[in-house]
Amino acid sequence: MKTVLVAGKFDLVHPGHLKFFEEAKSNGDRLIVVVARDSTITKNTGVAPIYPEDLRKEFLEALSVVDQVELGNESNEMQIILEIRPDIICLGYDQPIKEERVQKFIKENKLNIKIKRLNAFNEKLFKSSKIKSQVRMSKSEVLKEFKPTGVSNKDQLDSVPVIVGDYDEIADWEMDPKGYFLIRINKEKQILELAHCKELGIIDCIFEGKKPQDIYFEIHKAGIVSRIDHAAYIGKELHKAYLALQKSTNYTQDSELEI
């Protein structure tokens, strides 16, 4: 039984991908798809995927043409070849990895694996980058199409339920499994600084920005916030830090801001 291996981000799966999977499997009996890790995509492209790795893997597992789905290796993306040891590796027509690099790895590890570059399937229509560019609109484009709409049920507001928030910062607080943040201001550079800690007391990444939005955007791309209350907390503290920076006063995380 011949095993065929393909790998990629598979962030927005479209008919081009399905055709790719079908053609790849036609070269063997069993198709294994390797899904690139979130960290690998962010490292290689500078942009986090739209969908996290677990969802991308789950979606591909639902496809009948796919026999097995594995997550890639974070430290060495070529290592998965040694673990699976396929008979054939199929590459997409526009996949950036060079065949020579894969061939070198196969030769160094004394593996008997064939490499095949597959043809494109209607690339003018089914290409991930083109699809993403079509579904993303700039802020100015959104504002042009946005038409403010008034409230049409003003006379019926008495029947609308009112939810009163009563968040207890001690009883209701829960640690974000992806870590926590330390926030401070740098008066010398006139910037905000936010350090991320996945483990207690160990900083693994530092974000800098002149305004809160600069940091929000990078945190979102990095995918290191999983709780909405944690995201709201970061927004609140970064805004406090920004005000302190603008007013040339002191900022202490989790303390009242005196202006």
The residues that bridge with 185 in the sheet, in sequence order, are 192
Q: What is the pLDDT of residues 78-97, one digit of tens each?
A: 899 999 999 999 998 878 78
Tell me which fold the domain 3-131 belongs to: Rossmann fold (3.40.50)
Residue 190: which region, alpha, beta or left (left: phi > 0; alpha: psi -120 to 50)?
Answer: left
pTM given for the model: 0.51
Domain boundary assignment for the chain: 3-131, 180-246
CA distance 3 to 30: 5
Cβ pair 183, 194 in contact under 8 A: yes
Which of 23, 3, 8, 1 lies closest to 83, judged by CA?
3
| Per-residue pLDDT tens listing for the chain (259 residues) | 999 999 999 987 877 888 899 999 999 999 999 999 998 888 887 778 888 899 999 989 999 999 999 999 988 888 999 999 999 999 988 787 888 989 999 999 999 999 999 887 755 544 555 545 555 556 666 566 666 777 888 888 888 899 898 888 788 888 899 999 999 999 999 999 999 999 888 999 999 999 999 998 889 888 899 988 899 999 999 999 999 999 999 999 999 887 7
Q: Quote the pLDDT of residue 104.
A: 93
Angstrom distance (rounded) from CA 134 to CA 141: 12
- The bridge status of strand 180-186 relative to strand 114-117 is unpaired
CA distance 37 to 57: 10
pLDDT tens profile 203-259:
999 999 999 999 988 898 888 999 888 999 999 999 999 999 999 999 999 998 877
Q: Which residue has the tokens 């995927």?
A: 49
Cβ–Cβ < 8 Å for 245, 190: yes
